[in-house]
Amino acid sequence: MYKDKIVLVTGASRGVGLEITKHFLKHGATVIGLSRVESLFNHNHYYHFSVNIGDPESIVNCFKKEIGKHFKRIDIVINNAAVMTSQYSMIMPKKNAIDMVNVNLLGVFFVSREAAKLMRNKEPGRIINIGSMAVSLEPVGDSIYAACKAGINTLANIMAKEFSSYKVTCNTLSISAIDTDMLHQHSDIGQEKIKEIIKKIPIPRNALIDDILNVIDFFASDRSSYITAQTIYLGGIN
């Protein structure tokens, strides 16, 4: 399905990003994975680079010195890397708030910007952002996180206009809750809060990885050339 495609996944070292990476590899793609740490994951068609998505210089350097030189083009980008601190605004540590903006919002901007330069060819290009239900549900404690995720919906919508003449579509998949490190890092009270939220969505369960891969495949498909500037929420959230 993805033979000859070059896919870039941010936050490929674990969680959702690692599952997305394995999925593309299983279906014949070459995958470039980015995250801060070296990856323990090995595959003949997997190339990992240590990049801090919260640092524009680190991103630009990686594209200039590694990706641009070794791969020349990118077909699909999955902007998945993110950090999350859930805390009341008045006591949110300054550093955590800034990290969220740098990684979750600016990181998506700079990765998309650099990748788009390598998508200006005859092949269709796809930029897919991983968003969150927090944008729609606006849970207490998630002010910065949700604002950044709302921001990436907007980034995709505007980049969809800017990049359409290069046949690059830009969409967002907003996921509900899924069992990863990000979910487990919440305190017991935090996890209870998420369970309560999930109980109230139209399909009251956590997302499974296949729910995510299904929409990724839809956005990534060559047939989806007329689908751009869209946000799809999982589980019936809108």
Partner 1 sequence: MTNNQIFEIVSKQLVLLNETFLENQKITINENTILFGYGSSIDSLSLVSFIVDLETLFFDEYGFEISLTDDRAMIREISPFDSVATLVDYVFELVNELK
Ligand X SMILES: NC(=O)c1ccc[n+]([C@@H]2O[C@H](COP(=O)([O-])OP(=O)(O)OC[C@H]3O[C@@H](n4cnc5c(N)ncnc54)[C@H](OP(=O)(O)O)[C@@H]3O)[C@@H](O)[C@H]2O)c1
Residues that bind ligand X (CB under 6 A): 11, 13-17, 35-37, 51-54, 80-83, 103, 130, 132, 175, 177-178, 180-183
Residue whose beta carbon is closest to ligand X: 15
Q: How far is the CB of 64 from partner 1 (least distance, A)?
A: 6
Per rule CB under 8 A, is residue 70 in the interface with partner 1?
A: no
Q: Which does 175 bind (CB under 5 to 8 A by kind): partner 1, ligand X, none?
A: ligand X
Q: What SS3 string covers the chain?
A: CCCCCEEEEECCCCHHHHHHHHHHHHCCCEEEEEECCCCCCCCCCEEEEECCCCCHHHHHHHHHHHHHHHCCCCCEEEECCCCCCCCCHHHCCHHHHHHHHHHHHHHHHHHHHHHHHCCCCCCCEEEEEEEECHHHHCCCCCHHHHHHHHHHHHHHHHHHHHHHHHCEEEEEEEECCCCCHHHHCCCHHHHHHHHHHHHCCCCCCCCCHHHHHHHHHHHHCHHHCCCCCCEEECCCCC
Binds partner 1 (CB under 8 A): choice among 26, 45, 117, 195: 117
Residues counted in the chain = 238
Q: How far is the CB of 2 from ligand X (least distance, A)?
A: 20
Q: Which does 161 bind (CB under 5 to 8 A by kind): partner 1, ligand X, none?
A: none
Q: Which does 69 bind (CB under 5 to 8 A by kind): ligand X, partner 1, none?
A: partner 1
Q: Which does 132 bind (CB under 5 to 8 A by kind): partner 1, ligand X, none?
A: ligand X
Q: What angle do CA 126, 13, 196 make, to 5 degrees?
A: 85
Closest CA to 132 of 55, 201, 77, 192: 201
Tokens of 101: 């903006």
Cβ closest to partner 1, residue 162 vs residue 179 = 162
Q: Which does 64 bind (CB under 5 to 8 A by kind): partner 1, ligand X, none?
A: partner 1
Binding part of the chain for partner 1, among 62-70, 102-110, 138-146, 221-229 by CB under 8 A, reads 62-70
- Window 155 to 194, contacts with partner 1 (CB under 8 A): 162, 165
- Residue 138, CB half-sphere, CA atoms under 13 Å: how many? 2
Q: Which does 94 bind (CB under 5 to 8 A by kind): partner 1, ligand X, none?
A: none
Per rule CB under 8 A, is residue 72 in the interface with partner 1?
A: no
Per rule CB under 8 A, is residue 69 in the interface with partner 1?
A: yes
CB 120 within 8 Å of CB 165: no
Cβ closest to partner 1, residue 60 vs residue 147 = 60
Contact residues for partner 1 (CB under 8 A)?
64, 68-69, 117, 120, 162, 165
